Amino acid sequence: MVFVCMEKKTIIIILFELFFVFLWLFFVGQMSGTSALRGDINFLDEGQFAAWVNQIFHGEKMYRDFFTAYGPLQIYPVYLSALLFGKNMFSIRLGAGVLQIFLGIGISILVLKTLKVHPVLEAVTLFLILLIPGVFLRQWIGIFCILLTVEAFTKRSKSLALLSGSVLALSFLESVDIGALSLFTVGGYIGYISAFRKNPPHGSLIKFFILGVVLIAAIFAFFAQKDGWLIFYFKETIKTITSDSGINLANGMGLPAVSFERLYLSPIFFIRFIFSKAMLFYWALLYLLILLCISIFRFFLGLKGKENIISFLAIFYSILWFGTIIGRSGHYPIVIPIILVFSSYYLSQLFPFKKTNKTSDKIMGLLFLGVVLGYGLRYMAIYRFTDFPNIPGRKKVDISVSRVSPLGISKKQADEIKSLQEFFAKETKQGDTIFVLNNEPAIYFLVDREDPTAYGLPFLAYSKSMREDIVSALSKRKTQFVVEDSQAWAVDGISDSQRLPEVVSYVNKSYREYKMLGHYVVYKRI
């Protein structure tokens, strides 16, 4: 419906770009080294979705039987993908990765077109965000909501107001924090134009906006109630907002350390520090603040067009969102595509340097362009050691692994998965439960066995009562096998044995070491 506002030629270009983006993500992928068809499985990030889908297939319900801080709109598409393309990791990657990134990039293309970014800058921006991992629907749905709301209230379009209200409701279902920040941003905008604009929007526009929210909320409530998890969704969501934050944040960490002690050693050391990976978190925030100030300057210069309003609101929303990652600063890459898109908008205002004859202005314009490109390239440099591009046929991979194929993975990972599958197929039967002591929930999906606990990612059981819930579930379901990866990644440098003392103590007491499968240790109930 947003296409209604665009010319036919622009729509064709957008569709062509979307087609290209999808093909790229499907066959080549981003610099993280995975595409829809190739690349090793991330047992944690992809694995959590795989485990949730596995539990749904085993008759369990979201929020009621297993814990997740994500909205249903992040989990259900993955489940639908598995229904459509089969119970394999290809479906999981398609639903949890490719689709989410594709929709995020799709929204960024719409933003670039709406802001009328210079074609050269648009191409450069798209190139960067297509390669750099960071775009996800989760963040971009909020920007889509802002875009639609400004369009609706600028054009006074009831249909767009209905759509923007619907997208706001969907953003809540994608993620509660994104929904709340979107509501705050667009609510502030609607309140501002209603109070201060000379000809405020007609009441019917706001009614249509609210109708959009109610419509999606009603459909969701009906579906969730019918499926039996509506009340659990609200309970878990309130708990996530109130209890699982602050000091209780399971993956909470301090800000990246900044030490000035050794900066006096040499200028090279100083430059390396300024552009170090740890400092990129602060660069992202500084960049956002500069963009915010530019949008405010432009506002005071009388540039109050919808493009400037969209930019201001989107940057403001991104700064608010940045506030939510203070305790988990490693998530900052998610704002980088936002920075690149809106930098390219402001740059495109300078790009036709013909407007000015001043050499100094031309130099400044080129300098800004260099800064934006340099920023994007510095971030890309982080991935310089990844196996990119990961295209089919480039190297030998194993595509024969059950519940993974047609996704091709390395021989090493394939052998590990096969040995786990063979062991659990022999030692257990359908309906049996196993417990993975580390944060590698993909194993449940790969060996097709149920998780007796509510925590596919055990580190999320941060409190004593939650850890005791795990022990209680193991005891109640009489889980026969516990798997421990001796090479597991310790989240934030805190090992699982350190995080889960009650669980480890119970395993040591009630289980004995039974078999070694590579670096996996299997414990059997005594």
Partner 1 sequence: MKKNTKKRYSKKNKAQASLFKQTLVIVFSLVIGTVLFFLVNKFFIPYSLPIPQTTAINWLTVHRHSLLVDYLRVAAFVFCFVLSMLGGWFLFVWKKRQ
Question: Residue numbers of the site for partner 1 (CB under 8 A)?
Answer: 246-255, 282, 285-286, 289-290, 292-293, 296-297, 300-302, 319, 323, 326-327, 350, 356, 358, 360-361, 363-365, 459, 462-465, 492-494, 498-501
Q: Nearer Cβ to partner 1, position 202 or 358?
A: 358
- Choice between 362 and 524, CB closer to partner 1: 362
Q: How buried is 292 (Cβ within 10 angstroms: 0-12 exposed, 13-18 middle, 19+ buried)?
A: middle
| 3 state SS of 396 | coil
Cβ proximity to partner 1: between 15 and 274 the closer is 274
Q: Which is nearer to partner 1, 243 or 276 (CB)?
A: 243
- Residue 367 CA to residue 371 CA, distance in Å, equals 6
Q: Partners of 521 in the beta sheet?
A: 484, 516
Minimum gap (Å) between residue 242 Cβ and partner 1? 13
Q: How far is the CB of 274 from partner 1 (least distance, A)?
A: 12
Specify the residue, 249 or 377, whose C-beta has the smaller distance to partner 1.
Answer: 249
Smallest gap from residue 461 Cβ to partner 1 (A): 10
Give the C-alpha separation, 283 to 347, whole Å. 18
Is 29 in contact with 386 (CB distance < 8 Å)?
A: no
Nearer to partner 1, 279 or 364 (CB): 364
Residue 288 is encoded by which pair of tokens?
Answer: 């956002």
CB of 254 to partner 1, least distance (A): 5
Q: How far is the CB of 358 from partner 1 (least distance, A)?
A: 6
Nearer to partner 1, 296 or 425 (CB): 296
- Tokens describing residue 150: 């400004």
Q: Measured from the CB atom, is 15 or 241 closer to partner 1?
A: 241
Percent composition of the chain: helix, strand, coil (DSSP 3-state, to 5): 65, 5, 30
What single letter denotes the amino acid at residue 266?
Answer: S
Give least dist CB 362 to partner 1, A: 9
3 state SS of 516? strand
Residue 483: which residues within 8 A CB-CB, separation 6 or more? 420, 434, 435, 436, 437, 438, 443, 520, 521, 522, 523
**What backbone torsions phi and psi does residue 319 show, to the nearest 5 degrees?**
-65, -40
Rounded to the nearest 10°, the torsion over CA 402, 405, 409, 413 is -10
Return d(Cα 421, Cα 430) in angstroms, integer.
13
Mapping DSSP to helix (H, G, I), strand (E, B) and coil, where does residue 307 land? Answer: helix
Rounded Cα distance between 362 and 93, Å, is 45
Residue number with CB closer to partner 1 (234 or 297): 297
Annotate 58-112 with three-state secondary structure: CCCCECCCECCCCCHHHHHHHHHHHHHHCCCHHHHHHHHHHHHHHHHHHHHHHHH
Structure token pair of residue 268: 């090279």
- Least distance (Å) between residue 502 CB and partner 1: 10
Residues ≥6 apart with Cβ < 8 Å to 24? 130
Compute the least distance from the CB of residue 247 to partner 1, in Å: 5
Q: How far is the CB of 248 from partner 1 (least distance, A)?
A: 5
Closer to partner 1 by Cβ: residue 360 or 487: 360
Q: Assign 525 to helix, strand or coil.
A: strand
Quote the least distance from Cβ 185 to partner 1, whole Å: 16
Nearer to partner 1, 132 or 466 (CB): 466
Query: Measured between alpha carbons, how far is residue 493 from residues 253, 256, 457 in Å?
Result: 10, 14, 16
In the complex, minimum distance from the CB of residue 467 to partner 1, in angstroms, rounded to a whole number? 8
